[in-house]
Chains A and B, each alone.
Chain A
Amino acid sequence: MNTHPYLRAYMAGIAVPTLALLAIMTAFTIARHVYDVPLPMERVIVFPMAIVPNLFGLWNILYVAMGSGRRLPIGFHGATLPFVLAPIGLTMATSLGFLTLGQDALVWFEVLSIPYSILVAIFLVTLIIYYLVWKYLVAFLNGQLGIA
């Protein structure tokens, strides 16, 4: 009997960012409509809504497909995902016009200036978050679905 492990891996992978999207949408909506931050919502939300969950699913399929002998521990496997996501996200943000590359800093949404030196620290924090999310949440869902 085909138990569709890749389909289950995809579903387990997309579950966490799909739930997180609710919080992200809420935060962006409050920022936009309560605090009048000039966020172009319809352009900003494309990446967290369409790209991130799908890449989580595909990354989890990759984790299952690699088999227990060849893959990294799931936390480290998840922590490698921002190396793929960040360039795509930054490229999309630049091309959609809400991220500007300045002389010393990135300017998000025309109001949020982040120096390049701090950007490295933010990327490291993102790696840690991904490590923890994959180690505890995605691994839990994989266990519940009986795939890893």
Chain B
Amino acid sequence: MNHREDEKLKAALKQALPPMADVELGRDLWPQMLRKLGEQAIRVPWWDWTLAALVASSFFFFPRAIPVILYLF
């Protein structure tokens, strides 16, 4: 491919792919990103804390259950 064919190819490509008119974002994404970062990822209700405490106390009062539960997990 010689220099002249290169130029023709370049011109054909430019014609086929016109430059994009508007490359700027329509809005600022940073506030949305900050809001997302500030969100609490997981909200644990009080009854789930109660259930977790119940599980922990059952292990404390009846440690023999631990191997059985490990086996079933």
Contacts and interface: CB of A to CB of B under 8 A. Distances in A.
Interface of A: 17, 20, 23-24, 27-28, 31, 44, 47-48, 52, 82, 85-86, 89, 93, 108-109, 112-114, 118, 121-122, 125-126, 128-129, 131-132, 135-136, 140
Nearest to B50: A128
Contacts of A140: 42
Interface of B: 42, 44, 48, 51-52, 54-55, 58, 62, 64-73
Given A114-B64, A125-B58, A140-B42, A132 B69 contact: no
Contacts of B48: 132, 135-136
B71 A126 contact: no
Contact of A44 (B42, B65, B69, B71): B71
Contact of A108 (B42, B62, B67): B67
| Chain B facing A: main interface SS | helix
B69 A48 contact: no
A121 B72 contact: no
Contacts of B64: 112-114, 118
Max chain A Cβ within 10 angstroms of own Cβ: one of B48, B58, B67: B67
A17 B72 CA distance: 10
A144 B44 CA distance: 18
A17 B73 CA distance: 7
Nearest to A129: B55
Given A125-B58, A132-B48, A136-B42, A85 B72 contact: yes
24 contacts: A17-B73, A24-B70, A28-B67, A31-B67, A52-B72, A85-B72, A86-B72, A89-B71, A108-B67, A109-B67, A114-B64, A118-B62, A121-B58, A122-B62, A122-B65, A125-B65, A126-B69, A129-B69, A132-B48, A132-B51, A132-B55, A135-B48, A136-B44, A136-B48
